[in-house]
Structure 1
Amino acid sequence: MEIVIKASQFILSLSLLIVLHELGHFIPAKLFKTKVEKFYLFFDYKFSLFKKKIGETVYGIGWIPLGGYVKIAGMIDESMDTEQMKQPAQPWEFRSKPAWQRLIIMLGGVIVNFVLGWLIYVFLMWGYGERYLPNENVKDGIWAQDELATDLGLQTGDKIVSIDGKKIEKFDQLPIEFINGNSYTIERNGEKIEKEIPVDFISKIVDRGKEAGSFISLRYPFMIGQIPKESLNAESGLKSKDLIISVGETPVKYFDQAEAILQQYKGQKTTIKVLRDGNEVSVPITVSQEGKLEIVPGSVSGKDLEKLGYYQLADKKYSFAEAVPAGTHKAWNTLTSYVKQLKKIFNPSTGAYKGLGGFISIGSIFPSEWSAQTFWSITAFLSIMLGFMNLLPIPALDGGHVMFTLWEMITGKKPSDKFLEYAQIIGFILLLTLLIFANGNDIFKLFK
């Protein structure tokens, strides 16, 4: 059922983005009296799941869910309809239109993608606001519990001041900023220290199968969860949801502190103090030879952490007028972050190419339960991502057509149809290779 919910959201989001992107080409084409022969969601090689002709345009749904297209008369595109191009140019064809009109038609799709992403972020800010943990409120620093954190040069208790000289406002931004960044500044024992991010850091994340955010953690208290019957402390008097506040005579605030102090009592008996229903209670315990209590730690919700005074969350609400700049800031940060990630992918020394994913990776980012806020947030991200990808100057993408049209406008020389045909083929091969590689990565990860 979880897979069905994820897949349904993915298909819905993808379909919406494809239709609106192609509508961005369709509308200016019709405004400039250019004939649009087909408008398709997904590709229809050999046959269609559905099609209906309205006016001069056939609207349909294909069976290959790799995108969509509008077939504009007199244009070398995905259809590779070279026979049409051998005929004399007609006034309603794309090739007969002035360069500036052709440029607008080709830019229409990516403009829709960028505007759609921005609008979604604006309305999300207006409707939901933001609730997050300010990085400056992490007073006692991070927990470097993962080997990847130590590879970065982090230690438990480090306060992360900035990455690439940029102050980080939200704690949950840290993982992606480390992935995109080259250097960072921390505060350790009152001293500011600058460190380089290893070039192959992303490669290490991929190789170890780590999720992007798993190498940096908040420090949280040691709460008792379950106490197995075979535990040394099954009869100690410990109860579920007890919060450890001291071990022996040493006060503790965080799990990592309690864990370290318990190592000093290996194979011994001692007393711990716990916070239970607002009261301090002393409990005699036995520490195993491995320095463990032999219990299952419990989880503490963000609301409880805030109530206990560990972290103070920010809760921002926006009027519509305030949501516009907030949404614009969010959209811009999303775009710049994605561009940084793309640069890392094209730099072989980072190993980021190994993390490139296809449909499985994209589908997996959707939650297993429906959440309108999360769905639209992911859709906004994908819209901006698709807009930028389509703008890359690669033949077969909108950016390739834009590049050739700009060349024509600057030089006054229009590329020949034969040149455009070969460029389209090369671009299609490049995209197909990238598609196979990305989805091959997904399959490899599944088996791994």
Structure 2
Amino acid sequence: MGTITFLLVLSFLVFFHELGHFLAARYFGIKVEVFSIGFGKKLFSKQWMGTSWQFALIPLGGYVKMKGQDDTKPGLVEAGNDSYNNKKPWQRIIILFAGPFANFVLAAILYFAIAMIGANALSPTIGQVVPNSPAAKAGLKVNDEILRINNTDVKQWNEVGKYIVQSKGALQFYIKRDGVVITRIINPHISDSENIFKEKIKKRMIGIAPAPKVIKLNLSPIEALVFAYDRTVESSKMIFKGVQKLIQGVIPSSEVGGVITIGKVISEASQSSIIALLSITALISVNLGVLNLLPIPALDGGHIMFNLYEIIARRKPSDKVFMYLTVVGWVILGSLMLLGIYNDISRLLK
């Protein structure tokens, strides 16, 4: 059942990504010859609206084949205004960007659905107070519920940390204790900490930790839209930073996961709850959007770079350069895939 869920989720994400390319291409009048879910041997196809819609043998990706677009023949020019290569560079950039953008839109839709169903979050209830910390000196205690900081209402624990880190000067906490609301003035201090990448950092803290108490957020449609936007942006930033840290060597290559890890995570999420499945699907969708925008030849981001070069230099890169960089891009992608599979197998053996 887990494998079926994995294939369905992956096919859904690929479909949405390729649908972005397809709709943008059709908007500019380009003929889309093939819309494929999967690579390799064709298993099923149907001709509709001038396009061959198909499922292929290897369900680990997909593509749309537009008239006049062929990476193996970069100099290909097909006659007619419905050809990809006859379009202006800025139009091609929009078509290329439309795929990753569709993934971001899909993630936002999924996060909105999560918010409307009832997203879970940690309660803003204190579970631990560090001795001699600013919180302890101000008299905060375990089981105190934080209602407001200065003039900002608090609904979940995540908001507490964000507000403290981004604030300046002393803070006024409104606390609910034994049914009574009290106030405390706390002056955060700069302390040593770690970020999600386990790097040593310094940040404003008051010395408290959350209680293991989960609440369900009851959000209005407008609040759900804000929630969806914030989650999509935060996820995108996290993945961009993750790629940056991987390149810098902060994240070891052993942390790279492949299709086995993705399948395992999706399978476990599907067995947990619909919220968990929607959450991991949204995160993978953002991941696909970000990774496809990387300036690696053979990815959307690489092709966008080629078109930006054409706009700046007012000429296309030579066929030889295009082919060389595309081959390099495929080697990089192939190496990353093999690394992910190797790490997956190593984890399974352990």
Q: Structure 1 length as normaliser, TM-score?
A: 0.59
> What residue identity is the alignment partner of 1:445?
R
SS at match of 2:128: coil
| SS, match of residue 327 in structure 1 | helix
Structure 1 residue 336, shift from structure 2 partner: 1.4
| In 2, Cα distance between equivalents of 1:312 and 1:355 | 30
Task: Give the Cα separation in 2 of the matches to 1:353 and 1:196.
Answer: 24
Query: Do the aligned partners of residues 351 and 101 (structure 1) sit closer, same or farther apart at CA in structure 2, a change above 3 Å counting?
Result: closer
What is the Cα deviation at residue 116 of structure 1?
1.0
1:345 equivalenced with 2:341 (yes/no): no
Of 356, 360, 367, the residue aligned with 2:260 is 360
Greater gyration radius: 1
| One-letter amino acid of the structure 1 residue matched with residue 44 of structure 2 | F
Cα distance change on mapping 1:421 and 1:338 into 2, 3 Å: same
1:331 aligns with 2:232: yes
Amino acid at match of 1:345: L
Can you list the C-alpha shifts for 1:338-377, whole angstroms capped at 9, x where unaligned? 22222221122x3521110001111122226262221111
Other-structure match for 1:21:
17
Gaps of 5+ in 2: 132-141, 143-155, 162-186, 200-208
Q: Rate the CA distance shift 1:54–1:128 in 2: closer, same or farther, 3 A.
A: same
5+ long unaligned stretches in structure 1: 143-156, 158-168, 175-189, 203-217, 220-309
Change (3 A) 1:99 1:201: closer
| Aligned-partner Cα distance in 2 for 1:351–1:111 | 27
Change (3 A) 1:86 1:109: closer
Alignment of 1:93 onto 2:83: yes
1:11 to 7, 14, 28: 7
The structure with more helix, counted as a fraction of residues: 2
Please state whether the residue corresponding to 1:71 is helix, strand or coil. Answer: strand
Which deviations, in whole Å up to 9, do the C-alpha atoms of 1:199-249 show, x marking residues without a partner?
Answer: 9959xxxxxxxxxxxxxxx89xxxxxxxxxxxxxxxxxxxxxxxxxxxxxx
1:94-117 deviation digits (Å, cap 9, x = unpaired): 111112211111111011011111
State the Cα distance separating 1:120 from its structure 2 match: 1.3
Within 5 Å, give how 1:36-435 maps onto structure 2. Answer: 36-44=32-40, 47-77=41-71, 80=72, 82=73, 85-86=75-76, 89-134=79-124, 137-140=126-129, 170=157, 194-195=191-192, 197=194, 313-348=214-249, 350-366=250-266, 367=268, 369=271, 371-435=273-337
Task: Decide whether the 8 Å contact of 1:396 with 1:427 is kept in 2.
Answer: yes
Shift in Å, 1:423:
2.2
Cα distance between partner residues in 2 of 1:359 and 1:125: 28
Conservation of the 8 A alpha-carbon contact between 1:43 and 1:68: yes
Fraction of identical pairs, as percent: 33
Are 2:69 and 2:76, in contact at CA under 8 Å, matched by a contact in 1? no
Structure-2 change in CA distance of 1:19 and 1:193 (3 Å)? same
The runs of at least 4 consecutive aligned structure 1 residues that moved more than 4 Å come to 84-89, 190-193, 196-202, 310-314
Structure 1 residues 86-143: Cα deviation after superposition (integer angstroms, max 9, x where no partner): 5654432111111221111111101101111112112211221333233x6223469x
Give the letter aligned to residue 139 of structure 1.
Q
Describe the shift of the 1:19–1:311 C-alpha distance in structure 2 as closer, same or farther (beyond 3 A). Answer: closer
Return the alpha-carbon distance in structure 2 between the equivalents of residues 90 and 102 of structure 1: 16
Q: Distance between the aligned counterparts of 1:312 and 1:424, measured in 2? A: 51
Residues 76 and 424 in structure 1, CA contact (< 8 A), matched pair in contact too:
no
- What SS class does the counterpart of residue 415 from structure 1 fall into? coil
Q: d(CA) in 2 for partners of 1:198 and 1:325?
A: 25
Say whether the 8 Å CA contact 1:117–1:331 is kept in structure 2. yes
Secondary structure at the aligned position of 1:41 is classed as strand
CA RMSD of aligned residues (A): 3.1
Q: Counterpart amino acid of 1:360?
A: I
Q: How many Å apart are 1:68 and its aligned residue?
A: 0.4
> Match of 2:30, SS?
coil
SS in 2 for 1:33: coil
**Alpha-carbon spacing, 1:311–1:15, altered in 2? closer, same or farther (3 Å):** closer
Secondary structure of 1:75's counterpart equals: coil
Give aligned pairs, total. 291
Quote the offset at 1:21 in angstroms.
0.5
- State the SS of the aligned residue for 1:61: strand
Once the two structures are TM-superposed, the CA of residue 422 in structure 1 deviates from its matched residue by: 2.5
TM-score (normalised: structure 2): 0.74
